[in-house]
Structure 1
């Protein structure tokens, strides 16, 4: 295992929030040290980034109105309104929503070209 840094974006996903709640509970009950919890979260960040990069092959297209965009610290953030998502499978209906926030980070690991 290396000491590379990974984005912590997925900690705000359902599974990430559940993991952090469980770790906080274990720390408050004295069953785990905060240092071990941080190591677990670091492994979660690495693991989810690697799985998404290597195993997820699904695609979709979307159309909407770009409301706001930012680029800071190698991270793009887009706020899109009136969005419609379309799936490549013909039997799946399109999905519409009023607002979507898209966060895009560099897919290369630190040190890769």
Structure 2
């Protein structure tokens, strides 16, 4: 489920580790941990879609590979230039994972 994409970030991993520890010590139930993770999924997606105002453009030197699976695009690029207004950043290699941030139920 692409809705859970941000669980693999530093903050998502830290949250999961903390919840695992709380379960291990009997301070919360596994059911409560699942509820917390689901709320994290909703909150991070809402925050990113509502609070992010800046736009970033990029120009790729070369698209090495691309894949579309389970409604998720994955791009492997080399010699990429990112621009935000006047700032420019160049990278040799980058992997971009893009998916629809809306939940399946929200699209119906």
TM-score (norm 2): 0.85
Give unmatched runs, 5+ long, in structure 1: none
| Corresponding pairs, count | 106
Give unmatched runs, 5+ long, in structure 2: none
Distance 1:107 1:13 in 2: 15
The equivalent position to 1:66 in structure 2, one of 38, 63, 66, is: 63
- Larger relative contact order (C-alpha < 8 A, sep ≥ 6)? 2
Alignment deviations for residues 62-110 of structure 1 (CA, whole Å, 9 cap, x no partner): 122211111111111111112221111x2x3x22222211111124442
RMSD: 1.8
Match of 2:97 in 1: 103
The structure that is helix-richer by fraction is 2
TM-score (norm 1): 0.82
The structure that is strand-richer by fraction is 2
Alignment partner of 1:7: what SS?
A: helix
- Structure 1 residue ranges, 4+ long, deviating more than 3 angstroms after superposition: none
